[in-house]
């Protein structure tokens, strides 16, 4: 069994925050792959289904971001899962908006949700890092992540989330490369080859001016 965790904050006021992109990723996977209805359990909302032949549990902790690990630990303990079975989807300041990377283990880089997961299940889980960009100064980070995406961002967000859903079965099977390829195909679709320009029609020959005198024309007429 696989446990996919989306990090975010519960409640309508946070729904479109940059910090909630992890929630949105799981919601897209659930819609696209026919998962069951969301139910309250493990201090969060869960939805069950199949991805790539693997039974998969989607979990959105409702403990608020900095206590996310409590919810994840409860689910992992109930299903006897190890960190190797768990993938966390989260916002990433150090990646440009729309960029995505998969990482196994490592530090939490100051992300409160990841810090909580580290405290409760250790660092060896897999992460899907979803780029949201950086506001430019650390003092502006809190306001930035707790602010809604701009309307202009929704186009790339939609492509990215669809790509995540497309590749989710590969991720559940443990093939991060195929997952990344699926995301790239949605985010950066191959360009169609440009059609060769149509050949221009041949231009008619330029007429040559007839400068003969009337007498020359008469002589040439009798010669022909």
What secondary structure, in 3-state letters, does the chain show? CEEEEECCCCCHHHCCEHHHHHHHHHHHHHHHCCCCCCEEECCEEEEEEEECCEEEEEEEECCCHHHHHHHHHHHHHHHCCCHHHEEEEEEECCCCCCCEEEEECCCCCCCHHHHHHHHHHCCCCEEEEEECCCCCCHHHHHHHHCCECCHHHHHHHHHHHHHHHHHHHHHHCCCHHHHHHHHHHHHCCCCCCCCCCCCCCCCCCCCCCCCCCHHHHHHHHHHC
Q: Are 149 and 18 in contact (CB under 8 A)?
A: yes
Residues 6+ apart with CB under 8 A from 32: 162, 165, 166, 168
Q: Are 98 and 156 in contact (CB under 8 A)?
A: yes
Residues marked active site are found at 19
């Amino acid at each position: 069994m696989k446990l996919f965790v989306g990090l975010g904050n519960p409640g309508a006021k946070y729904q479109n925050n940059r910090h909630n992109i992890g929630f949105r990723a799981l919601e897209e996977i659930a819609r696209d792959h026919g998962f069951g209805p969301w139910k309250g359990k493990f201090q969060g909302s869960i939805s069950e289904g199949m991805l790539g032949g693997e039974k998969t549990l989607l979990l959105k902790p409702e403990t608020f971001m900095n206590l996310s690990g409590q919810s994840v630990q409860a689910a992992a303990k109930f299903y006897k899962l190890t960190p190797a079975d768990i993938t966390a989807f989260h916002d990433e300041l150090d990646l440009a908006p729309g960029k995505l990377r998969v990482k196994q283990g490592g530090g939490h880089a100051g992300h409160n949700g990841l810090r909580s997961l580290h405290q409760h299940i250790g660092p060896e889980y897999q992460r899907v890092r979803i780029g949201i960009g950086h506001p430019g100064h650390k003092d502006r980070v809190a306001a930035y992540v707790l602010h809604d995406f701009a309307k202009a961002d929704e186009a790339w967000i939609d492509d990215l989330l669809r790509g995540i859903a497309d590749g989710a079965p590969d991720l559940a099977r443990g093939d991060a490369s195929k997952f990344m390829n699926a995301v790239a195909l949605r985010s950066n679709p191959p360009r169609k080859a440009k059609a060769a320009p149509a050949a221009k029609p041949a231009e008619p020959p330029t007429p040559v001016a007839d400068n003969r005198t009337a007498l020359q024309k008469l002589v040439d007429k009798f010669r022909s």
